[in-house]
Chains A and B, each alone.
Chain A
Amino acid sequence: MISYGSVTKRFRDGTVAVNNFSLSVPRGSLTVLAGSSGCGKTTLMRMVNRMVDPSEGQVAVDGQDVAGQDPVALRRRIGYVMQNSGLLPHRTVGQNIATVPRLTGMDRSAARRKAADMMDLVGLAPELANRYPAQLSGGQQQRVGVARGLAADPEILLMDEPFGAVDPLVRADLQRQLVDLHHQLGTTILFVTHDMDEALTLGDHIVLLQAGARIAQQGTPKDFVSAPASDFVRDFLGLDRGQRTLHRETAADGSVLLLDPHGRPAGVLAE
C-alpha cells in the first residue's frame, strides 16, 4: 500500500508541482494517475522511490514513511518502468533485465535464469537476450523495460508513461499484456499517463489530476464515464465532443448494434 499524506512539492525555482495532495493506493490495485503534462503526476510517482523528496507531508509504503528509508534499498524493491524504456544502452537485453537481481547480490547464472523467465513472462523470444537495446523495436524495448521492472519480484511497480512512444497497435497489445500480468502477479501498480483512453483501459482506480496535482476526480473507469465530476473531467474525457457516445441501431436481423460517433459499428449489444 502506498499512501500520500498532505504532500507538497515546491521546486527550487518556486514552482509548486504538487500542492497538499493526499491519496491511498490500495495493495494489489492498478491505480492510474492521469492528467496533462505539468500536472505533477510524475513528481508524485517519483516520491514513492525517493527520486523526489516532498517539501512537506509524507509518503508511506506499507505504513512506513519512505523518508526514513535508504533510497537505494527502497529503489531496489520497487520496480520502475519509464518512458522510452530507459534501458541501459551498453547492456544486453538479458543484462538489463538482470540488473536489480545482480545489484542485490544474486549470482550470475541465477540472474541469467531469472532474466530468461522474465523474458518468457513478457513474451520476448529467448534469442533476444544477447541483443543490445538499440537493436530492438520500440515495442520490444518496452517489454524489456517491464521485464526489468518485475525482475526483482517487487510488490510495487511504478510505470511512468511507459507506452507513450510506441505505435497504437503495439500499445494496445502492451496494455492488454499489462492487465494480464497484473491479474497474474497481483503487484500493486502505479501508472502515470496523459492518455485518458489508456487510463480507462488499464485502471481499476483512476485519479485525474489538474495543475498542482489537485484531484479533479477519482474512481473506477465507470464512475468517470457515467458521472464526471466537473467540466474539466468531461472535457478531459472528451464527453462533450461526443467521443464516447454510442448510438443504438437495430439491424435487419433484429440484433442491436452500437455505433460510434462516426457511425461505424463498435459492437453488438448483448442482452
Chain B
Amino acid sequence: MRWILDNLPLIADRLWAHVATSLPAIVLALLISLPLGWLAHRYRPLNGPLLTGAGLMYALPSLPLFIVLPVLIGTGVRDAVNVVVALTLYGVALMVRSVADGLDGIPPEARNAATALGYRPLRRFLAVDLPLAGPVILSGLRVVAVSTVSLCTVGAVLGIPSLGMLFTDGFQRGILAQILTGIVLTVALALALDRLLVLAGRLLMPWARTPSRRAVRRSHRPGRSDQTDQTDQTDQAGQSVMPS
C-alpha cells in the first residue's frame, strides 16, 4: 500500500502508456477488419484464405514478432509503434471472423426488404447491413479489447512502457506491491473497457436488447399462442361480417 501511495505518478504514467498503446490498436483492428470481413463475406472464394490467414496470424508468437517488426517497418526496437502494430495484427486476426460472421448472419429478408425499398448498395451497407451485424461485431470487439489490453504488457520485456513494466520491474526489484498493482490494474483496465463497450452497444443498438414477443410469450404463457395484441382484438371484434 505504501509503495502505491509513494509511486502514484509512476503508476499513472504506466497506465496512460498502456491506454495510449492498446486503444489505437483496438480501433485500428476494427477499422481494418471491416473491409477485410466484408470481402470474406461478399466473395466466397476469398472467405477461406482470409479467415485462415487471419487465424494463422494469431498463432504468431508475440516476442519474436516484436523483434522482427522493427526490421520490417523501420522503427526502433523500443518504439511503442511496434507494439501498436503487433497488437493491431492480433486484433485483426480475431476481428475479421467476427465481421464476416456478423455480415453472414444478417436475416436475408431484412436485406431483401432494404433492396426492395430502394437503398443503394453503399447506403444499404452502412444503414442496414452494418447495424444488423453490430451485435456480433461488438462481441468480437470485446474479445479483442480484453486480449489487446492483456497482450500489451508483453512490450514491457522489450522496455516499452505499459502496466506490464510494473510487474517486470517489480519482479526484478522484488516489490510484491508493484507486481500486484500491475496485474490488478491490467485486469481492471480490461474489464472497464469491456463495460464501456457493452454500454456503447446498448446506446447504439437499443433494438438488440428488445426481447422478441415470441420469447416473452414463451416465458410468460407457455402453450398459449392466441395472445394477440389489443389492436388486433378490437379489430376482430369490429369485424362482424365475413367476406361473402
Identify the A interface with B (CB < 8 A). Answer: 49, 51, 72-76, 80, 82-84, 86-92, 99-100, 103-104, 123-125, 128, 132, 134-137, 139-140, 143, 148, 167, 169-170, 172-173, 175-177, 201, 267
Interface size grouping (class) on chain B: 35 or more
Across the interface, do A89 and B107 meet the contact criterion of CB distance under 8 Å? yes
Most B CB contacts (10 A, CB to CB) among A100, A134, A175, A176 go to A134
| Listed A/B pairs (13) with beta-carbon separation below 8 Å | A74-B118, A75-B116, A75-B117, A84-B109, A87-B110, A103-B118, A125-B231, A128-B231, A132-B207, A134-B212, A135-B210, A148-B117, A173-B235
Across the interface, do A100 and B118 meet the contact criterion of CB distance under 8 Å? yes
- On chain B, the residues within 8 Å of A173 by CB distance are 232, 235-236, 239
Across the interface, do B109 and A82 meet the contact criterion of CB distance under 8 Å? yes
Separation in Å of the B205 CB from the closest CB of chain A? 7
Question: Taking the complex as formed, is B9 at the interface, i.e. its CB lies under 8 A from any CB of chain A?
Answer: no
Starting from the known contacts A80-B117, A167-B228, A172-B242, 15 additional A-B residue pairs (CB-CB under 8 Å) come to: A75-B117, A75-B118, A80-B113, A82-B109, A86-B112, A90-B128, A90-B131, A90-B208, A91-B207, A134-B210, A137-B232, A139-B231, A140-B232, A167-B226, A173-B239
Across the interface, do A89 and B231 meet the contact criterion of CB distance under 8 Å? no
- On chain B, the residues within 8 Å of A83 by CB distance are 109
Across the interface, do B210 and A99 meet the contact criterion of CB distance under 8 Å? no
Question: Taking the complex as formed, is B132 at the interface, i.e. its CB lies under 8 A from any CB of chain A?
Answer: yes
Question: Taking the complex as formed, is B243 at the interface, i.e. its CB lies under 8 A from any CB of chain A?
Answer: yes
Q: Which residue of B lies closest to A75 (CB)?
A: B118
What are the 5 closest A-B residue pairs judged by CB atoms, nearest first? A86-B113, A76-B118, A75-B118, A80-B116, A134-B212
Most A CB contacts (10 A, CB to CB) among B112, B118, B236, B242 go to B118
Partner of B207, one of A72, A128, A134: A134
Question: Taking the complex as formed, is B114 at the interface, i.e. its CB lies under 8 A from any CB of chain A?
Answer: yes
Question: Taking the complex as formed, is B120 at the interface, i.e. its CB lies under 8 A from any CB of chain A?
Answer: yes
